[in-house]
Amino acid sequence: MRQFLLLVLLVVLGSCTDESAPPVIDLEERTIAQIHDAYRSGLYTAEQLTQSYIDRIEAFDQPTGLNAMVLMNPSAIEEARLLDQEYRESGVMRPLHGIPLIVKDNYNTIGLQTAAGSVSLKGFEPDMDAYQVRKLKEAGVVILGKSNMAEWAFSPRHTESSIAGTTRNPYNLEHVPAGSSGGTGAGVAANFGTIGLGTDTGNSIRGPSSHNALVGFRSTLGLTSREGIVPLYLRNDVGGPMCRTVEDATRVLEVIAGYDPADPVTQNSEGKVPEGYQQFLDANGLSGARIGVLRVLTEDIHPEIDSLLSRAIGDMESLGADVVDPFVVPDFQALSEDQWCPEFPKDIANYLAEYVKWDSLKTVDDIIAYGGFSEFVGSGLDYFAEQVGQPQSKECLGPFTDQRRIAFREAIESAMDAAGVDAVIYPSWNYPPSLLDDFMEGYKGDNSQIIAPHTGQPAFTVPMGYSSGNLPAGLQILGRMFDEPVLIRVAYAYEQGTSHRKPPVLALE
């Protein structure tokens, strides 16, 4: 009789169990590979994962004041559900199947407002995806939403927009996440999505990645298409991954790299894109590598960042690298000067004419007339308006045709050849992230602006530790044109050998 009653009790308890209850998913530091393993094992679905990220964003983004996201994708759950159905029926996963993606607010995305941080573009929803967005969708991503950015990508210092306000650094909310891709940086760092997209005109992938303990790839200018991205200076612009691991960033690069007829500069990539980049993920990739330390960029450096750099050099040596310190580029200072061209007025007018097509918004003057921007952005717009119609005192061409850019690049690559180095390293920033209210005076040590935007060379940043106040710092790795395989190998080996990345702790008041 006792056994019978026990059996009845078990049946009753079992009937009360909600077998449809969603699983509790640990979102902390989930990688693409881990998520795909979970899908294969049936641990959870893309729909459940997407909902978990949405719930986390709702719980922490605005309540903590982080303010990483501009808007969410109302179709995200349905898109994930369709991907789940596809996998059930086919048993085949796409390269990024069901991987939740955060997209910077300057990538054209069908059905989602694309405003580049400006209220003047409020309500603009493109009818075509940017090339990189399209390729990532084809690979199976689920777009969670759009991230905040420095308005018009003007600021490497901080991330503030008239469309969404100010984004904070998740590691220390009193500090900046850098700019202009600070929303993507803060969001991916805070585990609001698995992977993210940023853009980099001078700093804006690598700066926020450095400030948020992320991996940021600025690939060779010409390896990936900029079609459908709101430009700052198209001659310098690159779009690419901002992720928590080198492997995840590499998986994203595999999808977006290659020739796009809509962006002529990518023709230079033909014949230079390998059959996949994951093959270069080698934990022993520093063994026998020769690494140069570009000391000309560390003459003014915060003592804590200097200490982190010294440790990084020691770590690379212990992982098998031969370090050349200092690595010297003859005439570096002279070659690096006078490389910028203020081309925003022309580039934004072309973008507005091709994609937005509003009679009320065609020029920089129209943007100024609309108003609503900060004093910082206003001063930038005024500067650009003054440039309209002014004669150019120098050529302002692409990385493969501008003689000043070519000379700078050739000097660096010739010095690399002479020293026999595979890659060059330096801090992504020589100083820790500034305080939010000190982003003007506190903007110090941004090394990302100096080389890669002008030479076109690839430059990656990976976490190299933290300074006081739990503030992340990044190590930048520069390579020869289209030498992404070498940079992936070096960055991955350093990452795997040091494991500096750790998630921020977000607390509700």
Point out the residues that are catalytic.
Answer: 104, 180, 204
Place of tokens 């690159």: 238
Whether the CA torsion 50, 54, 59, 61 is positive or negative: it is positive
Beta strands at 215-218 and 238-243: parallel, antiparallel or unpaired: antiparallel
- Cβ 169 vs Cβ 212: under 8 Å: yes
Q: How far apart are CA 400 and CA 402, in angstroms?
A: 6
Nearest to 328 by CA among 299, 290, 292, 289: 292
- Scored b (16 or more CB within 10 A) or e, 423-441 reads bbbbbbbbbbbbbbeebee
463 forms beta bridges with 474
Classify residue 169 by its DSSP letter: B
Judged on CB neighbours under 10 Å (0-12, 13-18, 19+), 178 is buried
> Does residue 403 sit in helix, strand or coil?
helix
Amino acid occupying residue 83: L
Judged on CB neighbours under 10 Å (0-12, 13-18, 19+), 40 is exposed
Share of the chain residues as helix, strand and coil, in percent rounded to the nearest 5: 40, 15, 45
- Cβ 218 vs Cβ 239: under 8 Å: no
Beta strands at 215-218 and 195-200: parallel, antiparallel or unpaired: unpaired
Take residue 263 and report the two structure tokens written for it.
């962006």
- Cβ 477 vs Cβ 227: under 8 Å: no
What does the chain come to in residues?
Answer: 509
Judged on CB neighbours under 10 Å (0-12, 13-18, 19+), 324 is middle
Classify residue 172 by its DSSP letter: B
Judged on CB neighbours under 10 Å (0-12, 13-18, 19+), 286 is buried
Place of tokens 């918004």: 361
- Cβ 197 vs Cβ 240: under 8 Å: yes
